[in-house]
Amino acid sequence: DAKTTQPTSMDCAEGRAANLPCNHSTISGNEYVYWYRQIHSQGPQYIIHGLKNNETNEMASLIITEDRKSSTLILPHATLRDTAVYYCIVRMDSSYKLIFGSGTRLLVRP
């Protein structure tokens, strides 16, 4: 599976959009981009995933560049409860394994 690179930490103000970048320059054509988050001392929570097109659900939007070498997770109106570690993971569609990197620690400030 391709490796991902994320900033170690970020912060944003409550109510503003949080934009979390991820680089996956070695991604191959059949690999999906997944985003999970982990709030302290809990299991990871699924956020969103995509292959080529941008995706949106009730939690977030995922913007994937045309060359698929990077993506951005957007939390449109961050709340204090969005403070967590966010993991960007690349996964083949034939494999259910998720290999976690270091993630981005997002702090939402009041």
Partner 1 sequence: GAVVSQHPSWVICKSGTSVKIECRSLDFQATTMFWYRQFPKQSLMLMATSNEGSKATYEQGVEKDKFLINHASLTLSTLTVTSAHPEDSSFYICSATRDRGPGELFFGEGSRLTVL
Residues that bind partner 1 (CB under 8 A): 32, 34, 36, 38, 41-46, 49, 51, 85, 87, 91, 93, 96-103
CB of 77 to partner 1, least distance (A): 23
CB of 41 to partner 1, least distance (A): 7
> Nearer Cβ to partner 1, position 5 or 13?
5
> Nearer Cβ to partner 1, position 17 or 102?
102
> Nearer Cβ to partner 1, position 66 or 94?
94
Is there a contact between 89 and 31 (Cβ–Cβ < 8 Å)? no
> Nearer Cβ to partner 1, position 14 or 61?
61
CB of 45 to partner 1, least distance (A): 7
Residue 40, number of CB atoms within 10 A of its CB: 7
User: DSSP string spanning 8-63?
Assistant: SEEEEETTS-EEEEEE-TT--TTEEEEEEEE-TTS--EEEEEESSS-EE-SS-EEE
Strand ranges of the sheet holding 18-23, from the earlier edge strand across to the other edge: 18-23, 70-75, 61-64, 55-56
